[in-house]
Structure 1
Amino acid sequence: MSVGSYLKKHTEALVKDVGIEPACALTGKSKATLGRYYSDNPEHADRFMPVDAVIALEEAASYPHVTGALAELQGISLSHDDRRPNTERSGGVNSDVIALSQRFAMLMTEYQQSIEDGVITVNEAKRLLKETTLLQQVLIDMKLHLEDESG
């Protein structure tokens, strides 16, 4: 399967995940235009969904289909953050520093409990991985806040 065909399949999955009517409303594109983005018809082979439309749809979708496909094509693994809070956290970097220290403390507590007997079991490793991922998410939030504050 070619890269273009692979991306078109994931674009179609994204549009279907959101629904065609909501996808039209979110992107400002017509059904026909959206259809061209994932059509395997040779005349549409060079048409792909713009990045801003992908972002709008992936925000509403259950999974970042196109972003995931792009990552796979580059040999990159993603960690899907399904927290999706209703409102943005206020406080910026200061609250991120507090959240970071709390998350790190949770990771260290989990590590201490896991290593007490000298062996980290599969379940303990899964809990450590979860804590590590949550710590990573706090760092990403902090990075975004720092970028916002630096202009």
Structure 2
Amino acid sequence: MSTIRGYLKKHTEALVKDVGIEPACELTGKSKATLGRYYSDHDEHADRFMPIDAVAALEEAASYPHVTAALAELKGISLSFDGTRRNADDKGGVNADVIALSQRFAILMAEYQQSIEDGVITVNEAKRLLRETTQLQQVLIDMKLHLEDEAT
């Protein structure tokens, strides 16, 4: 399977799991088996991807636009979105973002240290690192939005 296909399938899986399998079935009108095929890495499902309307419905319910972000990253584009997030409405602005940024970075480094102790990063460890990296990215987006607000 090509790198791009695998990358998109992993992000499709992250999207479905973010929403939850049962709610994802309800939102898309697809069965669990069908949703599973969209992110399966088996050769028989290599060319099967989730329809864009299903992606849009799931991303509306998800905490992060996993597939849209993956497509943007593949094209070298960075996105910012303004959905309600943990520190989007706080009154601390950039100062609170700097604190959140340093906390998230510390968590990421702790996860990394724990992951490389045995010299091998397992799939589960990589998923935890990816989750923390995504959280760090969301804090940076919040910070960017606060800075843009202050600049206007």
Fold in common (TM above 0.5): yes
| SS of alignment partner, residue 49 of structure 1 | coil
Q: Equivalences for 1:92-107 in 2 at 5 Å?
A: none
Is residue 2:100 matched to residue 1:82?
no
Which residue pairs with 1:129 in the alignment?
147
C-alpha deviation, 1:27, in angstroms = 0.1
SS at match of 1:9: helix
Tell me how many residue pairs correspond in the alignment.
Answer: 94
In 2, distance between residues paired with 1:33 and 1:3? 21
Structure 2 length normalisation: TM-score?
0.57
Change (3 A) 1:128 1:81: closer
Letter in 1 for 2:149: E
Q: State the Cα distance separating 1:17 from its structure 2 match.
A: 0.2
- Per-residue CA deviations over 1:1-47 (Å, capped at 9, x if unaligned) read 61000000000000000000000000000000000000000000000
SS of structure 2 residue aligned to 1:58: helix
1:38-79 residue CA offsets vs partner (Å, 9 max, x unmatched): 000000000000000000000000000000000000000000
Mapping for residues 1-151 of structure 1, pairs under 5 Å: 2-83=3-84, 129-131=147-149
Give the aligned residue type for 2:29: G
Structure-1 separation of matches of 2:8 and 2:144: 31
Deviations 1:88-120 (A, max 9, x none): xxxxxxxxxxxxxxxxxxxxxxxxxxxxxxxxx
How far is the alpha carbon of 1:83 from its aligned partner?
Answer: 3.8
Secondary structure at the residue paired with 2:13?
Answer: helix
In structure 2, how many angstroms separate the alpha carbons of the residues matched to 1:50 and 1:126? 31
Amino acid at match of 1:51: I
TM-score by length of 1: 0.57
Structure 1 runs of 4+ aligned residues shifted over 3 Å read: 125-128
- Measured in 1, the distance between the counterparts of 2:79 and 2:60 equals 16
The two structures, once aligned, show a CA RMSD in angstroms of 2.4
Give 2:78's aligned amino acid: S
